[in-house]
Amino acid sequence: LAFDTMRWHGRQLEILDQTLLPGTCQYIVLDTVSAVFEAIQKLRVRGAPAIGCCAAFGVVVGVLEARPASANEAVESAVKSAARLAESRPTAVNLFWALRKMEAIAHGAAGLESAEDVIGALETAAKAIHDDERELCRLIGVHGSPLISDGAGIMTHCNAGALATSGYGTALSPIFAAHAQGVALRVFANETRPLLQGARLTTWELMQAGVDVTLICDNTAARVMAEGKITMVIVGSDRIAANGDAANKIGTYGVALLAQAHHIPFYVAAPLSTFDLEVPDGDAIPIEERAPEEVTEGFGRRTAPEGVQVYSPAFDVTPAALIAGIITEHGILSPPYGPAIAQAAKKV
Ligand code: MRU
């Protein structure tokens, strides 16, 4: 990969500011919990696994910022930082998964001698979450790439690539792997209104890797399917319920319905940290609503009348019945998803 989505060195958290892509490739330092919170909320760093990694480092940032005088104070500031960061975005469960892990490490470190010891333990844990994620992405590519054969036309929605993770991505990982194996494939990237993660980010990273990618407007999806250009759909997910219902970027559900109508298999790719067994089905997944301005004056130009009512959910839920398979680091889960997910969860 030619870029790092985020990096931790010299006890500093740096992220690639994704709001500036594709025009500007700029890293920013996040040295307070408020800065980490803002970066997640404003989508400077985004994508479910990347949010989790960033929040884990954010807890360390919070403790360093507090300059604790004792181990207890360090634990306290870790818990406080985790609680604050949990308020940044509601849908991607990886955020809460990573914060819970960090809190457990903090509590486990309470008996250590000094604040420095606690910080060291937290730093090691955050780095491990980041490194593990990279390997999980690679494995998703290993398991998913055999689904892609010569001549494949793959539609994807939003960005579930390297920018959304610490590795090769989830949905894009099988594509990168198949491309590396010399499989001739073509990707159709939906632009993904309103914040254009498909147009700005997915095309950017696929082009850098030399993958054949074509950008389409979201409302072109049905047309390219009807033209026979799409042989499969692969998307990522922000939270998968115990029954296999999968939340992903708004518009994904529509793409799944279109795929069904055209008899095209629709796959979801996600690590097990994206599964939420406490949520029985998609109805219980909290869906973030975004500010109206992202729709009415996105990217600095007003495109709707002042004062118009706007409804902007950031995610929708694709029912399990529309999903042909869920590609995880442990292999591809097939329906019925309830038992398959329960079984896979035991491996974590
Ligand atoms: O609002 P975003 O850009 O964070 O939404 C991201 C997505 O919907 C991704 O598809 C999802 O997080 C999976 S990322 C591997």
158 lines ligand 1 (CB under 6 A): yes
Q: Using CA atoms, how far apart are residues 304 and 297, in angstroms rounded to an integer?
A: 7
Give 97-137 pLDDT, tens digit per residue.
999 999 999 999 999 999 999 999 999 999 999 999 999 99
Instruction: DSSP letter for 199, please.
Output: I
Model-level pTM? Answer: 0.97
Q: Using CA atoms, how far apart are residues 208 and 78, in angstroms rounded to an integer?
A: 38
Ligand 1 centroid, distance to 47 Cα (angstroms): 4
Helix intervals (H) in 209-292: 221-226, 252-261
In terms of Cβ atoms closer than 10 Å to its own Cβ (0-12, 13-18, 19+), residue 234 is buried
Q: Using CA atoms, how far apart are residues 98 and 208, in angstroms rounded to an integer?
A: 30
Residue 278: count of CB within 10 angstroms of its CB: 10
What pLDDT, on the 0 to 100 scale, is given for residue 225? Answer: 99
251 lines ligand 1 (CB under 6 A): no
Ligand 1 centroid, distance to 120 Cα (angstroms): 30
Give 51-94 pLDDT, tens digit per residue.
999 999 999 999 999 999 999 999 999 999 999 999 999 999 99
Q: At what angle do helices 48-66 and 33-41 cross, to 10 degrees?
A: 160
197 lines ligand 1 (CB under 6 A): yes
What pLDDT, on the 0 to 100 scale, is given for residue 347? Answer: 84
Give 155-167 pLDDT, tens digit per residue.
999 999 999 998 8
Ligand 1 atom closest to the Cα of residue 92 is 12
Which tokens sit at 282? 């998609």
160 lines ligand 1 (CB under 6 A): yes
Give 308-334 pLDDT, tens digit per residue.
999 999 999 999 999 999 999 999 999
Q: Has 238 been annotated as catalytic?
A: yes
Residues 218, 238, 276, 316: which is the catalytic one? 238
162 lines ligand 1 (CB under 6 A): no
Ligand 1 centroid, distance to 290 Cα (angstroms): 14
273 lines ligand 1 (CB under 6 A): no
In this model, does residue 237 exceed pLDDT 90? Answer: yes
Residue 1 pLDDT grade (very low, low, confident, very high; cuts 50, 70, 90): confident
Ligand 1 centroid, distance to 81 Cα (angstroms): 23
Identify the residue whose C-alpha is closest to ligand 1 atom 6. Answer: 47
